[in-house]
């Protein structure tokens, strides 16, 4: 099971509506994950609010990669 699927199942059990969840399960690292996720986000037709879920170990790296990607 991919990490995306595990988190998806957890969020569904927490009551998050399935239509609010988008899975990115093709990446092999944080950089690919953010690039692929931005493609999903950019494909949305409406103004989209996004929440990035990570942990303390990954937050600084995630923020730095997002900044490098112009986000």
Return the pLDDT at 23. Answer: 87
Whether the model pTM is above 0.85: no
pLDDT (tens digit per residue) in 19-42:
888 888 899 888 999 999 989 888
* 9 vs 48, more confident: 9
Whether the per-residue pLDDT at 3 is higher than 90: the answer is no
**C-alpha distances out from residue 68 to 20, 35, 65, Å:** 27, 11, 5
């Amino acid at each position: 099971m991919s990490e995306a699927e595990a988190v998806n199942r957890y969020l569904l059990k927490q009551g998050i509506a399935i239509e609010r969840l988008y899975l990115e399960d093709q990446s092999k690292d944080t950089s690919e994950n953010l690039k692929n996720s931005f493609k999903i986000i950019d494909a949305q037709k409406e103004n989209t609010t996004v929440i990035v879920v990570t942990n303390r170990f990954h937050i600084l790296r995630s923020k730095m990669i997002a900044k490098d990607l112009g986000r």
